[in-house]
Amino acid sequence: MEAENTVVLKHYAPGYYEHLKNFTLPEEQERFTAKPVDMLEASAERFPIVIVSGVEPVGFFVLHSSARVNEYTDNPNAMLLTAFSIEYTQQGKGLAQKGMLGVRDFLKEEFPWCNEIILAVNHKNIPAQNLYKKVGYKDTGRRKLGPIGEQFIYSLSI
């Protein structure tokens, strides 16, 4: 069993469903991301990832290796990270930062061909921008129009 303060990234498994189904986010965060249960569909190009602290799922995101990545970068070895969230009751404990810091090693282990992770963050989502910058993501200068406004495209070299 993992220690309470450790954070690990794991591929989604059905045993996580009940926890993910009950994830809550404040309204101001909900508009920037998708609920985990709405993003669980896996495929050969889409990988739901659970952030686990101790034995409990505390966060979630999806990695993409589909043609959708081409909307954000010309790098054929990049993956796109979407739908990042931390369960509201678990926020403020450093879990988002620990989870994001684990992405690089997770990708090296699970997707060794990947050498860059790309994500889009809404221009109004300052807390997420600060988190991504703090863990090493760089603003590429590229912009994309998203469903609720301009998105900044960030990149992290693996």
Residues 27-48 pLDDT 10s: 777 777 777 777 787 788 999 9
Residue 57 in tokens: 């799922």
What's 147's domain CATH number?
Answer: 3.40.630.30
On average, the pLDDT of the chain sits at 90
55 inside domain:
yes
Residues 107-139 pLDDT 10s: 999 999 999 999 999 999 999 999 999 999 999
3-state DSSP assignment of residue 95: helix
Residue 52 in tokens: 């686990």
Pairing of strands 56-64, 78-86: antiparallel
Per-residue model confidence (pLDDT) at position 93: 93
Host domain of residue 120: 7-157
2 inside domain:
no
149 inside domain:
yes
Please report, for residues 32, 34, 92, 103, 116, the alpha-carbon distance to residue 48 in angstroms, rounded to integers and kept in the order given. Answer: 18, 12, 23, 13, 18
66 inside domain:
yes
Q: Are 100 and 62 in contact (CB under 8 A)?
A: no
Q: Identify any residues that bridge with 154 across adjacent strands, giving them in sequence order.
A: 119, 139
Per the structure, the count of domains in the chain is: 1
51 inside domain:
yes
**Whole-prediction pTM value?**
0.89
1 inside domain:
no
